[in-house]
Chain A
């Protein structure tokens, strides 16, 4: 406080007065505000206000039924402590990260394989067909993907049919009801949805790499794995970064697929934060805890995505 006072009182020269904005500058500023206002207002009303409320609720213990004034009480950071110490909630957050691995690794690896194998834009009728089919899962509701796959994973579904056909009768099971395999099974649904998008991103990316780089590498005696390591991977850094960003956001904030395919079961084996927030808030009436989990989820997504974006930006410079 004293420091502040000193600095103002002791300032030898008054700061140069900012030149008064001209009428035209003011008019432009007014125009800007008018153009931004509708977007900003509705954004503020339905994102910022709720976000602020989320933070507020997360400090309360409230059942969400009565008025806040009468039925809620201040609970401090105890909701957050519970989120970060409760075994079940920790497992649920862990589930989200396991899903992130499933959502990310198969699509990116398969996409890289396809991209480096064809190493050019997909053209012609085959290319169009490929694009169209691989993009189908992006177009349908995730809910439909969930229903389609729960039938695939059914005891009498295609997966088990296939296993029987190749003679692995003993491996058959109801996949989504199995404590060990339910989460990977859900993960594969996500991988299936994201496969086409990642593949196409990487194929488009690799077509942009200068072909002479590969020729130069060959002349330098590079084997295919060297080409992959020293030409393809560096050339696709951006696209890979984009894929990972998309898949991680999808995995951490997944809701639709899990809700439809397993409803979080068996037990809480496939429960993810999104689903748990919904349950806590609307079934268990623990609005405070749900909100704390929501805030933690938001921070986790940022914590995963920001470093990737940061790394991409630095490379672009």
Chain B
């Protein structure tokens, strides 16, 4: 059983803090994705777990064992690198079997393990080639195979798909999901691509500037982003974020107004309600906008993308703010027209001036 615990993990290079105190629990068999923009510290966090770099303070436990001072090779982790990091002078067979050779596993046993990994990844015909003779996708498989044979407690993936083309990336994504089911191992996956995060993860960890923004299941993050950053980062097209004012608070009912919207009411959950007159940010997913003659939002359309199964429109609101909406495929919209839009019930999200989400009552 290999669960993973991070307690107050910090990493500083000289005076620069890269990871600013991360607490995280990962259960055995979970697929966890670290996601965030470049420079957010997600790769560093992965390397700290791998033991490729020392933590400045805090504790890391793998399978209940404190590993702060344990060498990378003794942590029971395997890693797939962005560059694949295959040994150029070794055949695929030797690449995959290298870890076992170092562990002095007898030759016959080693060969069996390598064959088994090759079978799982369907790369038996490649075993005698050198990395230079492989395509990007094949190298990727070899890199994963190298991780599999070691039968690690935790698999670490550092942006493993970023060097592949779009079609191959989809295939490999599906394959990784399958692999996770098949092996049932703990996997930690780093990416800057929120689509990969959404599709692969049991649990997503959103990072920004070395701090955890939110931890949760993909739909949890999508439906209830904890703050403006997560709201803007997760989901495509991006969530619309509009400046608004609280015009009145009546019990739990919050009435919003502003330059860009005529009127909108949301129901707050008990406790933390914004005060009247407070400036807030209204978040609405493009998919949650519905054409309605009396809709509170009236963008002037300057972009129409008809994708076939749906139509994306974008336009400017009176204040100049941009609004994007995803409509039905054959919606009769035209450029330079004003399209009144209303918000699907319970779909609006509210963020206080601090950027934190205001809890709303689910409809």
A19 within 8 A of B: yes
Task: From B57, B68, B71, give the contact of A27 (CB < 8 A).
Answer: B71
> Helix, strand, loop or mixed for chain A's interface?
helix
| B residues near A315, Cβ cutoff 8 Å | none
Give the interface size bracket for B toward A. under 10
B17 within 8 A of A: no
Contacting pair A24 B71 (CB below 8 A): yes
Complex: A25 Cα to B53 Cα, angstroms: 9
B193 within 8 A of A: no
| A residues near B51, Cβ cutoff 8 Å | 24
Complex: A25 Cα to B55 Cα, angstroms: 11
Contacting pair B69 A19 (CB below 8 A): no
Contacting pair A23 B56 (CB below 8 A): no
Contacting pair A19 B56 (CB below 8 A): yes
Complex: A25 Cα to B188 Cα, angstroms: 25
Complex: A25 Cα to B68 Cα, angstroms: 11
Contacting pair A22 B68 (CB below 8 A): yes
Q: Which residue of chain A lies nearest to B71 when distances are taken between CB atoms in the complex?
A: A24
Contacting pair B54 A25 (CB below 8 A): yes
Which A14-33 residues sit within 8 Å CB-CB of chain B? 19, 22-25, 27
| A residues near B68, Cβ cutoff 8 Å | 22
| A residues near B71, Cβ cutoff 8 Å | 24, 27
Q: Which residue of chain B lies nearest to A21 when distances are taken between CB atoms in the complex?
A: B54
Q: How far in angstroms is the closest Cβ of chain A from B128?
A: 33
Q: Which residue of chain B lies nearest to A19 when distances are taken between CB atoms in the complex?
A: B56
Q: Which residue of chain A lies nearest to B68 when distances are taken between CB atoms in the complex?
A: A22
Q: Give 3 closest A-B pairs by Cβ, nearest first.
A: A23-B69, A22-B54, A22-B69
Sample of 11 further A-B pairs with CB below 8 A, known A22-B68, A24-B71:
A19-B56, A19-B57, A22-B54, A22-B69, A23-B69, A24-B51, A24-B54, A24-B69, A24-B70, A25-B54, A27-B71
Residues of A within 8 A of B (CB): 19, 22-25, 27
12 residue pairs bridging A and B, Cβ less than 8 Å apart: A19-B56, A22-B54, A22-B68, A22-B69, A23-B69, A24-B51, A24-B54, A24-B69, A24-B70, A24-B71, A25-B54, A27-B71
Residues of B within 8 A of A (CB): 51, 54, 56-57, 68-71
